[in-house]
Chain A
Amino acid sequence: MSRATTESLTATGGGRVGDSPQRPDGNLKVRGEFAYSSDLWHEDMLWGATLRSPHPHARIRGLDVGPALAVPGVYAVLTHSDVPGENLYGLEHPDQPVLAGDVVRYQGEPVAIVAADHPETARRAAARVRVDYEVLEPVTDAETALRADAPVLHPTNPDGNLVRHVRIRHGDPAPAADVVVSGEYTVGMQDQAFLGPESGLAVPAEDGGVDLYVATQWLHADQRQVARALGLPAERVRLHLAGVGGAFGAREDLSMQVHACMLALRTGKPVKIVYGREESFFGHVHRHPAVLRYEHGATRDGDLVYVRAEMILDGGAYASTTAAVTGNAATLGAGPYRVPNVHVDCYGVYTNNPPCGAMRGFGAVQACFAYESQMDKLAAALGMSEVDVRVRNAVEQGSVMPTGQVVDSAAPVAELLALVRDRPMPPAPSAPYDLRELPGGVSNTTHGEGVVRGVGYGVGVKNVGFSEGFDDYSTARVRLEVVGGEPVASVHTAAAEVGQGLVTLKAQIARTELGVERVVILPPDTSVGSAGSSSASRQSYVTGGAVRAACEEVRAAVLARAGAGAGLAGGKVVSAGGDVLADLVEVLGGEPVERTVEWRHRPTEALDPSTGKGFAHVQYAFAAHRAVVDVDVELGLVRVVELACAQDVGRAMNPDAVLGQIQGGSAQGLGLAVMEEIQVVDGVVRNPSFTDYLIPTVLDMPTMPIDVLEYADPHAPYGLRGVGEPPTLSSTPAIVAAIRAATGRALTRAPVRPEHIVG
């Protein structure tokens, strides 16, 4: 039946924990042969299309699907009244309709869905649905939204347009300092800009349920929300992971999932939905734009005395993960520094702007841009070097965070800063010039003249895993059996491979723990328990932990069956000293050993609502950057010449994958620093395309020398520390600081554009 679900990947390339075996999907992706969710196909399938609101805020006075139904080739046209279950979903807080009922709250909100025998027919029919909108004034400024007289966008929300207010109160409420610096910073709305648009295929099943093949980050969260909207028990809504073309947070929320299932159940036929590129900009949440007001106080010697911050995060029309993003921004808002007195107010707000939610860095990015800009200001006010003032205040193991949480594993912040500082500087450009190395690149602007070099630093702290008391766990089923005369391990989890390399990593763990060569990684689906989301830099930790735990149970069972031995290696049962005691094939015989384990990290705690105190984060992760930029100060063009990064990863489970994560994260930070921004005017997106939403190309990316430290975290499996997000944090402020150094401009906004340098 359906082609292009994630096939079982037999990872025979070898490789244990600490190796970098080749990824099974690598060659396929490079050759263009990898099957993404947009390639899904089923005989006799229909195509779905979505009608979206052109208005950021409107009341729906009437809906007429008649003209759409009349189009030949159309099988179904559905609206809110056709949602079989509850017309409400949401990751943390269900407030978003599957299809808008009486009101639309953002431009692009789905209003009706169509299934037809051809995608173009479906789109045309959708355009014929008549919607009578009463256009309402949109609320497009987050601070205005918080005013008492602002229209309340979600009448059932007790706090008006406030999604969440997090307070951190630490130390003396009225501290005094010798040196005080303050600033207001702005971060634009960044898009995850994944390349594979939202897509999936829903296949109706004989039991009245549905099988949904979809690119997502968290199968079980989707399953829970889809089942609720369909009014079906979860076991009749089976999800299968299809090929994921990038995620970065944008696939945490639902997009086409319920729509495709509704159409499939209504028509009795498989239904595929693939968003176009422009539609994709309306199909997922973005990074919260933020306004951040900071005040830092320090002694004359450069010791931080206090940090005061007010942060306003524009969550857009629906809550999505705004509450958790707000929690992160607040709890990490003082940065990786020892600050005795901290006072933070962080607000997540509803507006009629596009919904914002998860994106790599998740609230910590916005805060990091502000506090790192502040640290540079402080260094200047103190007459200290930017690195010295950071090192002087850097957290270390044993430090207390503003939440009162003690940093209970390695925090080599000072060492990371020293590593990037002490790298040799890249040479200044010199004749004969290669245009590709100069600001403006091949646009033939400067040929070396008017180029000023700047250097900037950034360091950040990110939490790993789900925080604030969330029951964060993953499930792994591991089976050891004899196939073709050889011992073979198979690993089954629901964890989404979103490109980070989890498929490879799970096999590495199974090989390490079970001493076998052949490992089969079964396709992720909901027939095994939840793995949690592929987000928050957590899958190596949590699903890695679950796979290891399941392997340990399998190994214990095998050893018990063998009646001897201390471990498995090279397909044998071995003693503690490594002597071969038995052949695994013989011990297993025809009887496989299988164990399913639900594994959780140590529990975290909710924050105290009035003080923000609590053991909120299971692990902290740190990265530092040094950015070297050349700026054509005459034309305002920037070339990032080098972006050096140092990061502690606890244990490099797969060193190549670690480097890939650091490079990718740094690149996304570069994009935010100098070009990436969704332009929203009066609630309407003005650049929903890759022609107008610019992301870095190969010509914009610098060399990235990387130092990886491995200080084991005793609480984490293998000592590992989440890798994916920290480099996204510090890259942006380091680059902007370097541009400030080159231009002397204040540059309080990311991204920086030519007009901010020339204007």
Chain B
Amino acid sequence: MKDFAYVAAPDVATAVRAAADAPGARFLAGGTNLVDLMRQHVERPDTVVDISRLPLTSVEETKSGGLRIGALMRNSDLAAHPLVRTRYPMLTQALLAGASAQLRNMATVGGNLLQRTRCPYFYDRATPCHKREPGTGCAAVGGFNRSHAILGTSASCVATHPSDMCVALAALDAVVEVEDVRGTRRIPLADLHRLPGDTPHLETTLAPDELITSVELPAPAAAPSRYRKVRDRASFAFALVSVAAALEVTDGTVAAVRLALGGVAPKPWRAVEAERVLTGAPATEESFRAAADAELAPAVTLDGNEFKVELARRTIVATLRDLAREGSRA
């Protein structure tokens, strides 16, 4: 690890000031991702601003009937929060499907949103990687790419965004609130992460010194929802494919649907195309398949990840089928 200056921020003002004063600074929240990256010399900040003690750890109800979640809230606390468990079960499920109990006890909402990809080449400084070092190439395209993305990729980068929580947040239309020395602003989650294009090193629309202070969820829908994750072992593994979905069926027809995918794209992937195909369609297996096909039609695969297309299709269909069944029981 490289030497760095350390600033412990007692409040938001100090944190954003410190970040503004030290270009290239990094916020340290739970540290479960940042510290690993610093040890591997992938992240080499000169200044680390420790935000882990900021008083941004509560869940409040908003006037519009939604929730505002503090950015420093631990993943385990958020998953266990009664309002989240009862009103946004999909989010609790997604959080609990991530990492391990120990990691969830450290990981924060803000850190989870901004966690970096698990592409093995991103971590290996001996290999070319546009994301780590723009202009060097992408070792994953011709290398070990079983875990890589099939949607939204570019010739420059095929890495996935690995978060589970974010997939649920994408389906829930969350809004991220950020602050810097200039003030505050709100960013819909869909606009927070960028697609790689020619600039895979630019992963979000945040300025480097912007601090995420909270995440706001709109009022919950009544529709049954679910987070389903497919991975290589029963727990403690990143998603090969995951689906966050909420489905409202009226008289056998899809009245409303929210669908987002994980493990298949460089950002939490809202399945807009599938939602379009489904809305107003009969809530049948055929519609679910057609929706999945429509979403996955533009998929681009590599040597190692071809299976993800079929796996994603099946996971989407199975999740919607589950929800349709659950909805009809209710």
Contacts and interface: CB of A to CB of B under 8 A. Distances in A.
B322 interface: yes
Interface of A: 54, 120, 436, 440-447, 450, 634-637, 639, 674-675, 679, 681-682, 684, 686-687, 691-692, 694, 696-697, 699-700, 753-755, 758-759
Given A444-B93, A759-B306, A754 B230 contact: yes
A172 B21 CA distance: 83
Nearest to B325: A449
Nearest to B96: A442
Contacts of B318: 445-446, 450, 634-635
Contacts of A441: 233-235
Nearest to A755: B307
Given A440-B234, A754-B240, A445 B229 contact: yes
A-B pairs, top 10 by smallest CB distance, nearest first, are A441-B234, A755-B307, A699-B234, A443-B229, A759-B307, A54-B126, A686-B144, A681-B144, A686-B120, A699-B235
Contact of B314 (A444, A635, A686): A635
Nearest to B304: A755
B311 A443 contact: no
Interface string B289-328: 0000000000000000011001100110010001000000
Contacts of B81: none
A542 B254 CA distance: 71
A442 B237 contact: no
Contact of A444 (B126, B227, B236, B311): B227
B310 A442 contact: no
The size bracket of the interface on B is: 20 to 34
Contacts of A436: 234
B120 A692 contact: yes
A721 to B, nearest CB: 33
Contacts of A636: 230, 311
Contacts of A700: 233-234
B97 interface: yes
A691 B118 contact: yes
A697 B314 contact: no
A444 B232 contact: no
A696 B236 CA distance: 10
Which of B228, B233, B237, B315 has the most C-beta atoms of chain A within 10 angstroms of its own C-beta?
Answer: B233
19 contacts: A440-B230, A440-B231, A440-B234, A441-B234, A443-B228, A443-B231, A445-B228, A445-B229, A447-B322, A635-B318, A679-B144, A691-B118, A692-B118, A697-B236, A700-B233, A753-B232, A754-B232, A754-B307, A754-B311
Contacts of B93: 444
A219 B196 CA distance: 53
Given A634-B318, A635-B318, A692-B120, A758 B310 contact: yes
B233 A444 contact: no
A687 B315 contact: no
Interface of B: 1, 93, 96-97, 118, 120, 124, 126, 143-144, 146, 226-237, 240, 306-307, 310-311, 314-315, 318, 322
Contacts of A692: 118, 120
Contacts of B311: 635-636, 754-755, 758
A739 to B, nearest CB: 14
B308 to A, nearest CB: 8
Which of A120, A436, A444, A639 has the most B CB atoms < 10 Å from its CB? A444
A635 B116 CA distance: 26
A449 to B, nearest CB: 8
Contact of B230 (A445, A684, A691, A696): A445
A759 B234 contact: no
A88 B237 CA distance: 40
B137 to A, nearest CB: 15
B314 A758 contact: yes
Nearest to A127: B41
Contacts of A686: 120, 143-144
A694 B144 contact: no
A474 to B, nearest CB: 39
Nearest to B240: A754
Given A445-B229, A686-B120, A758 B234 contact: no
Contacts of A679: 144
Contact of B97 (A443, A634, A682, A753): A443
A450 B321 CA distance: 12
Contacts of A681: 143-144
Nearest to A699: B234
Given A443-B231, A445-B318, A682-B143, 5 more contacts: A444-B227, A445-B229, A446-B318, A694-B233, A759-B306
Contacts of B231: 440, 443
A635 B234 contact: no
B230 A635 contact: yes
A699 B234 CA distance: 6
A443 B120 contact: no
A251 B62 CA distance: 59
Contacts of A694: 232-233, 237
Given A120-B1, A444-B228, A687-B120, A697 B233 contact: yes
Contact of A697 (B126, B146, B230, B235): B235
B310 A759 contact: yes
Contacts of A447: 322
Given A54-B126, A686-B143, A442 B234 contact: yes
Contacts of B226: 444
B140 to A, nearest CB: 10
Contacts of B120: 686-687, 692
Contacts of B314: 634-635, 758
A686 B144 CA distance: 7
